[in-house]
Structure 1
């Protein structure tokens, strides 16, 4: 099958990169109509021009960010359109980042855009069943048009490896773009509660929307056991993960969206056979069982998170167990082969 892949975000964006790799791995021929320009208007224009230059394909896969593209693609082709919605622009802009109120003109536009783009696709992909339930209830869409496809991780980059460290600290690792739904402030608060545990250290990588507020919180709490690193190249991320004793998958906030998804970093951590701590929410429960393949903590609860970190620092057997079982889940459901099989079934059914 020849699949034309087009997206509003760049092909290196993790979700798009995984879809491209998994589609290729499942044996499909891919016509890549993505673009890496720095701005959305430039990308949207260039990908549409690339699309118009193509005539010979069996179906279209619209990757992330595809809501503005789907209505245009639908008018330009009668071929099946599989749309990876991935997230709700309405939910993101109004409830996660809180840029607009739901009743504002912009809020109503994003609501319409999410709903209309979904009605124009033959199939819609989302990352969890909890996210599918949100779309069906919020936008009044039939559940039969949706398929769950986990975010997963690329095992050619994220795989178990042994790295020796010179220090003997118990290292807790987290990285983030510091969006509100991540709940990075609860990690800082948990670190503050563990200040007296001198053997425990935190490494937090990234920058973003809430970064300055998180740093201010750490300063106000007198937290001195977190090493903040603004940025590391993506290809060096596995090395940092490999140095950790425990990884924080999240999400940890009480924002509704945080409860519906499984953080992309979580898949990367279990791909590297690291013990993970995740929020106890419907999204994470789709693959995780508390104390079997992860430790699950109450959302928006620094005490629960601190207790989990302390327990894992004292219990090597539990760390080993959840790391091993988490890795088994990854191999079975979340690596490129597993996701490729899921996508093959969806695309084959959509074009038959």
Structure 2
């Protein structure tokens, strides 16, 4: 280890190959930090495993995406050693179970218990990461966090894979959706829009998930709509490059209004214009990102028809898409935001 090099301890049973984690780990390395991984056998007693195993004291403890269950043990261990702890939840368990999956009613005892549990976890961290300004506001309001405790770092895309490419030379314009066919994405809105659209556009929906069968039934007999199976992650950029226009999400939930999905980051990075639902998560307007009202098939059909009518402008829109990505969501932006956050810990 280089003299004076700082160390960050990535704590928890996380996936280092998940794109959010991989991009942040690369940013830490680029900033000169040394990464140490601690993957405990049991999350609840991980602090004791760390003690008994003689885990070296780092300069920072980092809790990565989705690892709520690791927070308490990590916070006990870090607090006893006066090491700052940063939590990057990416999602809220309370939000997911109560509002997205509707497993518990908002006013139920189970919802209140889950809220109190997650509120205590967010309070235990020195800093909490949000991926969008919308999520930052949600965390602050839901978990009573001061805004000074929250930092926004975009998800971004893996730029070694998702590279800008010239538009394809398709005879028929292709609009591509890829995803997990969940309600937040509203793939049914895409199918209905394809049926309403009078322009000669081919609509492709790629992936698998709970709403795919219903979408296939809705699309029966529609020659302009086709479905493709899930692709390995490394093959996704090439598939994006074959399409003219990419489709984001169109759900009507509060969460859908707060997120920027991976598919949007990746598509913009590939230099493809994107149509997605309106969201305050986006920092400003761009010719490369066409925002429409959520849950509105007719608005999507009309936007697609307009792009078809002005097909000669798609290349310029693709260039604008990549420029928008570079300005607000690039891995350099991640690195810069992380650097500001790390500097703030020592003020």
- Structure 1 residues 108 and 32 mapped into 2: Cα distance closer, same or farther (>3 Å)? same
Match of 1:225 in 2: 224
Q: Does residue 1:289 correspond to 2:285, yes or no?
A: yes
User: How far apart, CA to CA, are the structure 1 residues paired with 2:253 and 2:106?
Assistant: 15
- Structure 1 residues 68 and 155 mapped into 2: Cα distance closer, same or farther (>3 Å)? same
User: How far apart, CA to CA, are the structure 1 residues paired with 2:12 and 2:217?
Assistant: 37
Residue correspondence of structure 1 range 218-297 to structure 2 within 5 A: 218-219=219-220, 222-249=221-248, 251-284=249-282, 286=283, 288-289=284-285, 292-297=287-292
Match of 1:338 in 2: 333
Q: Which secondary structure does the structure 2 equivalent of 1:4 belong to?
A: strand
User: How far apart, CA to CA, are the structure 1 residues paired with 2:327 and 2:147?
Assistant: 25
Q: Is the 8 A contact 1:97 1:179 kept in 2?
A: no
Q: Does residue 1:25 correspond to 2:30, yes or no?
A: yes
Correspondent of 1:192 among 191, 195, 198: 195
Q: Does residue 1:147 correspond to 2:151, yes or no?
A: yes
Q: Which secondary structure does the structure 1 equivalent of 2:291 belong to?
A: strand
Residue correspondence of structure 1 range 48-197 to structure 2 within 5 A: 53=53, 54-78=55-79, 79-162=83-166, 168-194=171-197, 197=199
Deviation at 1:12, TM superposition (A): 2.1
Q: Does residue 1:13 correspond to 2:18, yes or no?
A: yes
Match of 1:298 in 2: 293
CA RMSD of aligned residues (A): 2.3
Given the two structures, how large is their TM-score scaled by the length of structure 2? 0.89
Instruction: Output one character per residue of 1:300-335: Cα deviation in whole Å (capped at 9) or x when no partner.
Output: 100001111111122134423332222112223322
Q: Report the number of matched residues.
A: 337
Q: Is the 8 A contact 1:164 1:243 kept in 2?
A: yes
In structure 2, runs of 5+ residues without a counterpart are: 1-5
User: How far apart, CA to CA, are the structure 1 residues paired with 2:12 and 2:195?
Assistant: 41
User: How far apart, CA to CA, are the structure 2 residues paired with 1:10 and 1:125?
Assistant: 18
Q: Is the 8 A contact 1:181 1:255 kept in 2?
A: yes
User: How far apart, CA to CA, are the structure 2 residues paired with 1:139 and 1:187?
Assistant: 34
Q: Which secondary structure does the structure 1 equivalent of 2:120 belong to?
A: helix
Q: Which secondary structure does the structure 1 equivalent of 2:285 belong to?
A: coil
Deviation at 1:260, TM superposition (A): 0.8
- Structure 1 residues 74 and 66 mapped into 2: Cα distance closer, same or farther (>3 Å)? same
Q: Is the 8 A contact 1:260 1:282 kept in 2?
A: yes
- Structure 1 residues 306 and 298 mapped into 2: Cα distance closer, same or farther (>3 Å)? same
In structure 1, runs of 5+ residues without a counterpart are: 36-41
Given the two structures, how large is their TM-score scaled by the length of structure 1? 0.88
